[in-house]
Amino acid sequence: METLPSNVGTLSRFSLYNRAVSTVTSGETARPELVCPICGETGADARYAIEGFRSNLVVCRHCGTGWLEPMPSPEDLAEQYPTSYYGETGQKFHPLIELGVRFVGGRHVRFLARRVPPGGRILDVGCGRGILLRELADRGYETHGFERFASAVRGIDPRVQVRIGDSLMAVNYPDHFFDQVIVWHVLEHIPDPTDVLREIHRVLKPGGEVVIAVPNFSSLQARWSGSAWFHLDLPRHLFHFPHQALRQLMSDCGFEPGTTHHFSLRQNLFGWVQSALNRWTRLPRNSLYELIHARQEPHVKSLPRMTRFCLLSAFVLGMPVGLFLEILATLMKSGATIHVTGVACGDEQR
């Protein structure tokens, strides 16, 4: 495996999503000295190497959580989130797909906010373009968003009260301030998920709800795909949570875990199609995902017309197969991405 002295300056060799990921087979994979940042037990194994990046994905022998070792520096991480990651002028995908994303998002929001009192105060941690928050503001909720970079919130609805800072802890919301905190596909991007969950517990009212969505590292899709799994999204995903490890972490941080939802139209169907393409073709990793992005990378634009046609055909034909597989996975309680609700226990109950 190639080892680089630093990750700085490597992005130009790669697009956002096409770094190859391979299973670590050569050399010693055992890392008995590593302490798991989630369960605190000692002992891990190196599982995946990332092209042009010095960190490996290592997996805890006890709780099965994966994390990047060594943890990338803030500078290296900032390089992985150029403006194009969030979409230009607030639009991330092709306009037709964007319509679909917003339609599914709107329906989803009604479900998300069902336990929040009318007019309640909701925080979205890592709110990005604020699609969820705009829908929540339409329904009369007081909406707050936290982001690390101002460029990420360009085009956000003016009703959303945004705070920008290096971490959730740095923006210092008052104690017991929110009725609900949403952490939607964000916890896996954060280098200190335990600290962030404890902070969320502090800013939630007792009895308030946290909703956490993450890729499920113990899912059928993750296990079938291996290093080809679309939702690995390396090196941006710093942590990879198996379902039970996430519930344990929530419990350790003062929440009573509630229901886990295993089915997601938005995330899980496409994951099957792109993971299969990553496994079975020699095309650059995640080519289909980049092809349907509004701002395509140069290497995707230069793909032969026939290849682009085949990729789009795989998309159209593969999504129904993905739907079938994901219904099966849901029945097995093994969704490719999951969201888990949790209620903030009062300090005396902890």
- Which residues of this protein are in contact with Zn ion, per CB under 5 A? 36, 38-39, 60, 62-63, 65
Residues found in the chain: 350
Nearer to Zn ion among residue 241 and residue 263 (C-beta): 241
| CA–CA separation, 260 and 189 (whole Å) | 20
Nearer to Zn ion, 62 or 295 (CB): 62
Which is nearer to Zn ion, 190 or 277 (by Cβ)?
A: 190
Q: Which is nearer to Zn ion, 244 or 296 (CB)?
A: 244
Smallest gap from Cβ 239 to Zn ion, in A, equals 11
191: cis peptide before it, omega within 30°?
A: no
State the nearest-atom distance from the C-beta of 58 to Zn ion, in Å.
10
Closer residue to Zn ion (CB): 91 or 194? 194
Of 67 and 263, nearer to Zn ion (C-beta) is 67
CB of 299 to Zn ion, least distance (A): 37
**Residue placing its CB nearer to Zn ion in the complex, 24 or 39:** 39
Taking the C-alpha atoms of residue 226 and residue 16, their distance in angstroms, rounded to an integer, is: 20
Question: To the nearest whole angstrom, how small is the minimum distance from the Cβ of residue 40 to Zn ion?
Answer: 7
Q: Are 230 and 271 in contact (CB under 8 A)?
A: yes
- Residue 317's identity, in one-letter code, is L
Q: Report, in Å, the least distance between residue 69 CB and Zn ion.
A: 13
Residue 146, classed as helix, strand or coil, is strand
Report, in Å, the least distance between residue 338 CB and Zn ion: 18
Measured over all CA atoms, what is the biggest interatomic distance in the chain, rounded to whole angstroms? 63
As measured in angstroms, the least distance from the Cβ of 65 to Zn ion is: 5
Q: How far apart are the first and last CA of the chain?
A: 45
Write the CB contacts of 123 (distance below 8 Å, at least 6 apart in sequence): 144, 145, 146, 173, 177, 178, 180, 181, 182, 203
- Asked if the peptide bond before residue 242 counts as cis, ω within 30 degrees of 0, the response is no
* Closer residue to Zn ion, CB minimum distance, 14 or 241: 241
Place of tokens 């140069």: 298
Calculate the alpha carbon distances from 116 to 133, 163, 267 in Å.
14, 22, 24
Cβ atoms of 311 and 228 within 8 Å: the answer is no
DSSP state of 54: S
What single-letter DSSP state applies at residue 39?
Answer: T
How many angstroms separate the CA atoms of 34 and 49, rounded? 17
Alpha-carbon gap, residue 226 to 180, rounded angstroms: 34
Please state the closest distance from residue 42 (CB atom) to Zn ion, in A. 9
